[in-house]
Chain A
Amino acid sequence: MKLRRGTLRAALALVLLPLLTPAGAVEPISVGLAIAGAAASALTGFISYPRLYCYFRECCLHRHDPRAAGALQGNLDNRLFGQHLVSKVVVKAVRGFLNNTNAKKPLALSLHGWTGTGKNFVSKIVAESIYKKGLQSKYVHQFVATLHFPHAHSINLYKDQLQSWIRGNVSVCPRSLFIFDEMDKMHAGLIDSIKPFLDYYELLDGVSYRQAIFIFLSNAGAEKITEVALDFWRNGRTREDIQLTDIQNALSVSVFNNKNSGFWHSTLIDRNLIDYFIPFLPLEYKHVKMCVRVEIESRGYAVDEDIVSRIADEMTYFPREERIYSDKGCKTVDAKLDYYYDF
């Protein structure tokens, strides 16, 4: 019975349908709804327009901001102390890579040096100059060997996961940044697993890695760098005289043969997939003082030279006799500051 009524109603509606003339369709409520719908879709279209959308949310950059390189140079000059080699090479490398629309391989930088000399700091500055949100950006990925790849027996699992992670993220945003910290603690085979991504391939399984940037941070080679720096000092030459070529060749071989370097006999060096080996020189007394001054200013206090000297004197230096280079670079400076400025 119910079914019959339902079908009767439907039949009635269908019968009445041809009686609707065009004039009868101009009905206030439906017209109002139609206009509202049209306005809504126009608004959605406007909002999803990239230039507007990317103002509020973070987007993947397809063409980089030309001011990025200038910002990078400025930041490195003002905030990084005592690394004349680094600022020269990093700015040119990153700028050249970003400007090159037809890069043949992803950019691979290897930052080596003593602890506390600014390696993480530089990678942070690079990330900030390319991505608006810096290290917090969802296109910047940081891996710490001791944290993300702790167990030597799970290395196969780590290899698979790392490859999937890199592949997935680069296919979403070709201009991704990957930072690998503590390379000297990373298992030798693990880095071999990302070698294919760093090589000169146009496409790998449909994904192009040519716009990505890989930064490797490590303490390996620090002794070699210090040796070179000490030689220069002992011969009476200034720190700024040290050229990249003096260090680069010595570094590459020593890192390759160093069992602890994470690159040990790795195909990365074998295949020359690292574009730049960037050495970080150990910091001297005057650089430690610069760090202290910057820290004091950032806390908003007036700079008192007496306190700056005292803090710098408290740091330990090597070699034992000459006492030129700081053992920990600029680390623990802010902790010492708390001791002197007790508020």
Chain B
Amino acid sequence: MSHLTGLAPSDLPSELRFLQYPSSKESTYLPAIRQLISNDLSEPYSICVYRYFLYQWGDLCFMALDADDKLIGVVISKLEAHRGGPMRGYIAMLAVREEYRGKGIATRLVRMAIDIMIERDADEIALETEVTNTAAMKLYERLGFLRSKRLHRYYLNGNSAFRFVLYIKESAATLRYEDYDPELPPSA
């Protein structure tokens, strides 16, 4: 199964530690998280955006750290009833340091977040990614996500996005059809 779901933990660089974001240590980790994520964005998110997620759903944020506690990868997400309908998990940000890519780190981080979401009764999980982001699309598709729609000129740079959705429960399908609008007004 490892070929399908990302590398088995043993294939990951062994010096890496994966841990849930400890809210009490904001000053230790938040600057590094912001730094890592804004590397791939043309316009940074304000600290409010990070706190919006981390303060309310810090337990849905996972980090990969190397032996020196340097941040290598991070996923930030949330989970709440979507417009009074399904419990929807949403993966807001994901990044892995360039030199560490392609080793299954992001897959592992995303899976940790998804596992908690499922534990907390998620009906479905959604996210957006740029239509040219092959690595991210491949990662999510291998986990079972499907493209549900295309979002025209979604990003500030004029690029379009795909919305990816993963149904966790059969009930997700029977809940009222809604064309939900983008969650995270994007930057990239």
**Chain A partners chain B:** no
Residues of B within 8 A of A (CB): none
